[in-house]
Structure 1
């Protein structure tokens, strides 16, 4: 009978340790999920900022070429033509 009690106590002890380990692992998983979510948010913010800076760079290139720089004249002409086509399309849509 004493052996049974010792076995039960041993099992209870081991079960208690397993439960505690499981709780700590669940907490760790939750923390890692939170870190991942923050990393995803940071990455999205950085991607958005990169896109914004690319647009700003293109605008500055066009403005520079309008000021007389020969480097980007072709790009500026293409952008102006594209804008004219968009305006023509809008006018045609309004006419209909």
Structure 2
């Protein structure tokens, strides 16, 4: 009978260790999930910041070309033509 008790005690000990390890893994998983969420939010913020800077850069490029910069004259003409087409389209819709 002592042999069975030893086996049961050994199993209880192993189950206890497994349950403890499971709890540790759950805690680590929770921490990692929080870290992922934080990183994703930071990435989203960085993407918004980059988009904002790109928009400012394009506006600056357009302003420079309107001031007589030779580098972007073609782009400026295309942009102005696109704006004129948009305005014409809006006027056509309003006149209907």
Q: TM-score range by the shorter chain?
A: over 0.9
Query: How far apart, in 2, do the equivalents of 1:49 and 1:91 lie?
Result: 35
Query: How far apart, in 1, do the equivalents of 2:91 and 2:45 lie?
Result: 36
Identify the residue that residue 92 of structure 1 maps to in structure 2: 92
Identify the residue that residue 25 of structure 1 maps to in structure 2: 25
Counterpart mapping for 1:1-96 below 5 A: 1-96=1-96
Aligned residues: 96
List structure 1 segments (4+ residues) > 2 angstroms apart after TM superposition. none
Post-superposition Cα deviations, 1:7-55, rounded to whole Å, max 9, x if no partner, equal 1111111100000000110111111111111111111211121111111
Secondary structure of the 1:14 match is: helix
Query: How far apart, in 1, do the equivalents of 2:46 and 2:91 lie?
Result: 37
Structure 1: gaps (5+ residues): none
Query: How far apart, in 2, do the equivalents of 1:63 and 1:73 lie?
Result: 11
Structure 2: gaps (5+ residues): none
Quote the RMSD (CA, aligned, Å).
1.1
TM-score (norm 1): 0.92
